[in-house]
Structure 1
Amino acid sequence: MANHPQALHPIIPREKLDFGFDSSIPKYWFGGDAFKSRFFDALSVIFPPGEKFFMTSVRDFRDRISDPKLLQDIKDFNRQEAQHTLVHNQFNDHLKTQGVDVDYLLKWLSQLLFDKYRSRYSREYTLGLTSALEHFTALGAHAMFDKRDVLKEAHPKVRAMYAWHAIEEVEHKGVAYDVMVDYAKVGYALRIWTLLHTTLIFPLVIFKFLNFMLKHDGFSWWQRVKLNAKGIWWLLKPGGFVGPLYSHYFLYYKPGYHPWDETEQPGYDEWLQAFNLHRDPVEASELMRTTMAL
């Protein structure tokens, strides 16, 4: 197939991980901030249906693939995504203990992705959405590890879940893209159109779920408006959570782009070295942060 840049890191499924989600994690585990906590809680709820959608969209084209390396990558991609679903469901069960109607949100998103998108759009289009969403999730590693400590005030156990998830996104970020370009034969126009679609719908779903939770928490409409205004500034301000990601995001629009045009990821080697000590994801996250702060 096409002569793509090569992945720097192997895809390594890490199974039977224990993050220790329990009552020691407060409702507002991100520095006591309701918006920041519920923003990441919304992400956690999104992931199980999203991961299933990713795996299904890639599986649509598996029968066309003969390259043994890509077939193995797809297998390992699926194993990683399955573990992400498992762990986020464990955290989502923690949200249920707070009375959040997680099942309603999961059902709503599953209907959007499977009943609407997969019935309305072609298999090539849904794979384009998958590749674009994988681009977004891979951006999370840059948000958390690129010389900043945006999760400094987060609870260590939840911070560890997102660090581990981001690390594995770095490893498999090229899989759906390779299937899309080499086997689904998605061209530049459709690739960009599905990215634009994703750029619109992804934050809309996050904010829908975020505000659903804030309303459940008892915040009035006006209180939610103020929380959202302050939170959006935190996200978009210069040096905020999203701002430094723009340069990485816009690479996707480049003709001939490939996810492995960016092979280096700050924090990856530090996390992997720490994880290999005892296979403890919480320890790995904390040691990585300590090492990068030196």
Structure 2
Amino acid sequence: MLTQKSFIEPDRGMLYLVPTPIGNLEDMTFRAIKILNSVDLILAEDTRNTQKLLNHFEIETKQMSFHEHNTQQRIPTILKMLEEGKKIAQVSDAGMPSISDPGHELVKAAVAKHLNVVPLPGANAGITALIASGIAPQPFTFYGFLSRKTKEQKDELDALKNGSNTIIFYEAPHRLAKTIKHIGESFGPTRKMVLARELTKRYEEFVRGTIEEVSEWIHENEIRGEFVVIVEGNAHPQASVRSEWDALTINEHVQKIIDEEQVKPTVAIKQVAKLRGLTRQEVYDIYHQL
């Protein structure tokens, strides 16, 4: 077990996770500006993009590139600097580090070395879209980007469709139509959905409706900007789950769970009994033909 007192030992190395605006530069916090001014180094996903932010706030701190393609190469150097007492800030191009952006591997490595990791609060596209969506804000599941491969994406959606949580996805404009089509095929056309684009920017826009209505909007409009996709949770998750095994015999149901989840018959029997409102003994006797 590890405990961290973030500000008790100011002379120790410190890794700050600093969120940046998702569009509107006025969303930068006073503390974030102060930290970026005071640290020894800023780790940036794209140094050219971050330099525009630094120039705007007259921050002259040195940068080092840190992105998905050089993470493993950079981490040993960064850890050594932190162990020497350096103060380092990590930023992504927009929003929170680690949330569909680089950062997690560095945090994990720093924690393993007992180094202090200090997060700053700030802009996040998913939460920003969620609170204005009109769909229940909690409980929610943040999923981020779905797989780009069709089969894998459909498998991911099938695993999510029966959950009662509101779901937050991210999607790029050139993949949006295909992704929404697959969501509709898996979740059904009447589920509520909200698209949020260009959040905090001049052309911020929300599209609210059913999945079918949103699909029609996509085909009738030019798609630009990065999108947050909010999908309503399943209001009747148990009914949906039940429909999948209604046509199965108890033996088939037990065998399906054994095959799909790679569990022992006793575990599958317990699950089937719970789902069907039977006792374990009843399912056990049927399965073993007693």
Q: TM-score, normalised by structure 2?
A: 0.25
The normalised TM-score by structure 1 is 0.25
Structure showing the higher helix proportion among its residues: 1
Q: Larger relative contact order (C-alpha < 8 A, sep ≥ 6)?
A: 1
Q: Identify the structure with the greater strand proportion.
A: 2
